[in-house]
Amino acid sequence: MKKATLIALILLLAFPVWGQIAWGVRAGGSYSSLVQKVGDKNESGSRMGFSVAGMADIPLHFIYKRLSVRTELALVNQGGSWYSGQDIEGMAFYNRCWYNSLHIPINLAWTFPFYDIRISLYAGPSLDFSLFGHMTSREENQHLLFGHTAEKDLKAFDLGINAGFAVAYRRYFLSVNINGGTLDRRAVVREGESPVYQNNVTFSIGYYFRTHH
């Protein structure tokens, strides 16, 4: 009985917040790259992809009226190119890939009005769960697998640092999002090879089905 009463009380206190959540969708293009250091230079092999997402903006009015938690579930098509086999003198394998991932950013957003528009600045961690993809390596085309330890595979998870801004007018908005991976994506770590990190920049247009009251 006490547990049920406590749960009911929590839901009752949370109702004003949940009732003000803004829901929306966005879609756009992504510019992604796999970055590594080869010799004394930072190499970046890039490609164009896409990103679609459903999003929610949860107000934190009890802390400050302009703060919110902005999160989303996004399907991101990303990838790039990198070198492997650097331990072989005079030879380096050039690998190219694309793959789809589920991104779940959890951002702290600050929103302020400017005439008739609303401007949001946000940042936070982002979870990246890789699904499936394709790779070209050593002149061979093959499926890109995740969670395996073969040379051609990448790791199935990445932790990113996410930041961006959005400009909203009524129910429509434009956003720019930057995500930098912090984990080495290589499934096989061999001596003489440098880490490979996934970065991407996304440009989107979106629509809120529901805005804050």
- Domain assignment present for residue 16? The answer is no
Structure tokens belonging to residue 198: 């996934």
Q: What is the pLDDT along the chain (213 residues), one digit of tens a residue?
A: 555 555 444 444 444 555 688 999 999 999 999 998 776 677 778 999 999 999 999 999 888 989 999 999 999 999 998 887 655 454 457 788 999 999 999 999 999 999 999 999 999 999 999 999 988 876 567 788 776 666 567 889 999 999 999 999 999 999 999 999 999 998 877 777 788 999 999 999 999 998 875
- Domain assignment present for residue 90? The answer is yes
Q: What is the CATH number of the domain that holds 95?
A: 2.40.160.20
- Domain assignment present for residue 12? The answer is no
Q: How many helices (H) and strands (E) does the chain have?
A: 1, 9
Domain that holds residue 124: 21-210
Whole-angstrom distance, CA of residue 133 vs CA of residue 41: 28
Domain count, the chain: 1
- Domain assignment present for residue 14? The answer is no
- Domain assignment present for residue 10? The answer is no
- Domain assignment present for residue 107? The answer is yes
- Domain assignment present for residue 7? The answer is no
Give the distance, in angstroms, between the CA of residue 69 and the centroid of all CA atoms in the same chain: 15
Which has the closest alpha carbon to 177: 24, 59, 27? 27
- Domain assignment present for residue 15? The answer is no
